[in-house]
Amino acid sequence: MNALIRLIGAILLAVPLLTQAQYPAKPIRLVVPFPAGGTSDILGRILGYRLAEKWGQQLIVDPRPGAAGGIGAETVMRAPADGYTLLITDVGSLLINQILHPKVAYDLTRDFAPVTLISYSPHLFCVHPSLPVASVAEFIALAKKRPGALNFASSPGGAPFLAGLMFAHRTGVEWTYITGRGGAQSVMDVVSGQADVLFNGMLATLPHVRSGKLKLLAVSSEQRNSTLPDVPTIAESGVPGFVTGSWQGILAPRAVPMEIVSKLHADIARILTLPEIKEKLAGQGADPLPAPPAEMERFLREERDRWANLIRETGYKVE
């Protein structure tokens, strides 16, 4: 009997190892809850090739935009908790969405298992090239002379939108919000001249700055970005303590086995150390940030509290 008990115990202990060793045994779907062309989509495709190469299984990037990321989030929340449906997202945007819409079906800190943070990309504070300003101070002065006349492009409730709300709250400027369908659409609204100004993730926005289609005034990081050493931060441009950005991460349905979460984090973290991946991210202004699940969980709670405080202070409500 004792021998049988020991055998059963050994088998049970081996199950997590077997699960991890066999995973993945089929293609994995990586849901992007925002339109194609945005930061999450770009990162998913950067990582996808290397992960597929390592696993011998295809990583399918599946854009599911809508409801400020809510449609994609619910898709993953309701998926089988087997590790074959994952969510890659700007975690701030989804946290903000659930703060603004308390009745949404998902709760990021309740319904999802944090897998890993991937990268941090500061927001770029950009204007249309025709706007007669060359600095944050000049922009603030112009905006105050023309209250409500300038158009701010963003998706309602997203992290770039809240960056704009924070900027307006801290500086006293007034602008008109032009809402679109995600970061890529907001960029094109300003590029085309339909809007005047935006905050947006560096990864998706920097190419348009380099092509001259957008004028960059400042970055929203705590310190100057190594990719743009001559561009001042918003904090040093007269708005002390202003820090926002796009923190990209991967989540899974909450009940996914921890051994699969651990394998995913380890494999992704290893890929983020590869010189070619670091170079690709750096070239787009993003810093690798492979924070483990426990650290990501703490980060989610801190971000939730930060944005909840801003929304409470400003009294902002979705119209």
3-state secondary structure of 246: strand
DSSP string, 110-138: HHEEEEEEEEEEEEEEEE-TTSS-SSHHH
- Same domain? 158 vs 109: no
pTM, two decimals, is 0.76
pLDDT, one tens digit per residue, over 5-64 is: 444 444 444 444 445 558 999 999 999 998 888 778 888 998 998 999 999 999 999 999
Which of 208, 237, 266 is the endpoint of a domain?
237
3-state secondary structure of 23: coil
Count of domains for the chain: 2
Judge whether 190 lies within some domain: yes
Judge whether 221 lies within some domain: yes
- What's the domain range around 232? 122-237
- Same domain? 38 vs 170: no
- Same domain? 159 vs 215: yes
What CATH number has the domain bearing residue 195? 3.40.190.10
- Same domain? 212 vs 251: no
In which band, very low, low, confident or very high, does the pLDDT at 147 lie, cut at 50, 70 and 90?
A: very high
Q: Which residues contact 206 (CB under 8 A, 6 or more apart)?
A: 124, 227, 284, 285
pLDDT, one tens digit per residue, over 65-110 is: 988 788 999 999 999 999 999 999 888 878 888 888 888 889 988 9
DSSP string, 46-96: HHHHHHHHHHTS-EEEEE---GGGHHHHHHHHTS-SSSSEEEEEEHHHHHH
Which of 172, 207, 237 is the endpoint of a domain?
237
- Same domain? 103 vs 129: no
Residue ranges of alpha helices (H) inside 247-292 are 258-272, 275-283
Residue type, 209: V
What is the bridge-based pairing of β-strands 287-288 and 112-127?
A: antiparallel
Judge whether 16 lies within some domain: no
- Same domain? 85 vs 129: no
First to last CA, the chain: 68
Judge whether 232 lies within some domain: yes
Cβ atoms within 10 Å of 15's Cβ, excluding its own: 11
More confident residue, 154 or 218: 218
- Same domain? 302 vs 203: no
